[in-house]
Amino acid sequence: MSSMKVRFAPSPTGPFHIGGARSALFNWLLARKEKGTFVLRIEDTDLARSTRESEENIKASLQWLGMNWDEGIDVGGDNGPYRQTERLDLYKEVTQRLLDEGKAYECYCTPEELDAVRQEQMDRGETPKYNGHCQHLDEETKAKYIAEGRKPTIRLRVPLNKTYAFDDMVRGHVSFESNGVGDFVIVKSDGIPVYNFAVVMDDHMMDITHVIRAEEHLSNTPRQMAIYEALGWEVPKFGHISLILGKDYKKMSKRHGATSVEQYKQLGYLPEALVNFLALLGWAPEGEEEFFTQDELIQAFSMDRVAKNPAVFDIDKLNHINFHYMKNLSDEELFHLCLPHLKEVGLAPDSLNQADFDRLTLFCTTFRDHISYGAQIKEYVDIFDYNKIRFDYNLLNSTLDYELDEILKMDSTSIVLDSFSDELYKLSTITPESVKGAIKSVVKSTGFKGKLVFMPIRIVLTGTMHGPDLNNIITLLGKEECLYRISCYKQWQESTQLSQNTKDVLYLSINKNN
């Protein structure tokens, strides 16, 4: 196994964000490409916000996306524990070492005192930083502060006039000046290390060689490098990937739609499609190919093709990719992907018999080419709701409405519908095959073909001129429903006393209960 070792270290403070999934994916792909080790650890030192529920959501989402980890939470390894709150004793040892070596010190400044100093610095036009008040406290002053009930934080001594520079895997050469950093807190007054301190200790103790994370952590890097230097530890290789933006080029948030992996799973997206899409958010393959299997992504991925510029989350692109993968689903797999959404709208009972399964599977496969993800199947259930199918004969200015009206006015329409009704009556069972035979009989008995046969039937039954396989639609509606809708059309047709201005009371909107 390669000596490369990467990690994904999320904070379990909410649903697993799509941006976190992209960071995890880049780490995972690099580890698999280089035959390295992928570590999952949990950074849960934000005690107020961290929950085990969020941790489980992160793990379940990673597993659903196919990103298994080699070391870490649940899996184990030689460098555990892998939850930060279970590593506090390890952190205390390192903290004490820094105190003993004079590289860190106790700070008794109150938040109010720190705020006042910060404001004075800003008023003078200076960059706010700690003024070093507690750098060299004598024991008498410390005792006084302790007597006042002050609980100290621990600050790292940051050397002056030092440049912290590194070659970022994405951004190239980056440097920061230590004078703009100041002595910063590494342990809070409750004894819990801050992020920058804990992450350095964890990465070193777990032998992490490469750190790939979001660019918002770039400003943390000089602080972390100062800690590495104070402890005499080797600094890992950093790579800061760009933020994910919405189409409005603002940071992705709830206003842009779903933001968590769980939401996309619930909407009926496929994990392989989401992985394919996330890989292309900020990474560009060498060729023009946009569809990659997991193995193909591993072989093609490299950090030198990760872009500096922000990645734009394009939901249309995700839908395009997901549609591609959905084409490979079997009819049964497609049904199970759509089933939760069919239940949501009351089309599928909680307990399915074979007839329910067959009918709903046919429904899903009928609209297979019209949906990009599972939840979209809900957009087509109105076909079963007779009162939601409408025509408006006052709106004949569009080509579609004009054509529809012209078809209904043809002399052949009534002949075709009468013949089709007769053929439906004859059917003992209704299947796509038996419907196909019935329509062939209509063609034979009427002498009409193509559009003159199919269009009137489709329009009267569905309210539209276009749609999926008509044989399937008729089967889904059932014999009685089809005959009823044709009957309603005839009622409208016979109501010749209606004026043109009142024909927007449509034949298909006649209430079944009337």
Spatial separation of the C-alpha atoms in residues 467 and 123, rounded to whole Å: 68
Residue 188, token pair as written in the block = 């809070």
Residue in 484, 476, 272, 292 with CA at minimum distance from that of residue 377: 476
Residue 483, token pair as written in the block = 């005959």
Secondary structure of 415-452 as H, E, C letters: HHHHHHHHHHHHCCCCCHHHHHHHHHHHHHHHCCCCHH
Query: Count of CB atoms within 10 A of residue 205's CB?
Result: 15
Residue in 28, 119, 72 with CA at minimum distance from that of residue 20: 28
Distances (CA, A) of 359 to 347, 362, 364, 430, 491: 11, 5, 9, 11, 30
Residue in 486, 498, 490 with CA at minimum distance from that of residue 462: 486
**240 Cβ neighbours under 8 A, 6+ residues apart:** 168, 170, 171, 212, 213, 214, 215, 217, 218, 221
- Given a contact cutoff of 8 angstroms between Cβ atoms, the answer to whether 216 and 251 are in contact is no
Spatial separation of the C-alpha atoms in residues 154 and 186, rounded to whole Å: 6
Tell me how far apart the terminal alpha carbons of the chain are, to the nearest angstrom: 75
Q: What's the length of the chain?
A: 514
- φ, ψ for residue 241, nearest 5 deg: -90, 155
- Given a contact cutoff of 8 angstroms between Cβ atoms, the answer to whether 292 and 300 are in contact is yes
Q: Rg of the chain over CA atoms, in angstroms?
A: 33
Residue 478, token pair as written in the block = 């059932």
Say if strands 237-241 and 172-177 run parallel, antiparallel, or are unpaired.
unpaired
What are the b/e assignments for 457-494, b being 16+ CB within 10 Å? bbbbbbbeeebbbbbbbbbbbebeebeebbebbbebee
Helix, coil or strand: residue 352? coil
Residue for token pair 């400003």: 219
Catalytic residues: 254
- Given a contact cutoff of 8 angstroms between Cβ atoms, the answer to whether 474 and 482 are in contact is yes
What are the b/e assignments for 322-339, b being 16+ CB within 10 Å? bbbbbeebeeeebbebbb
Q: Which residues are 42's β-sheet partners?
A: 83
Spatial separation of the C-alpha atoms in residues 62 and 56, rounded to whole Å: 10
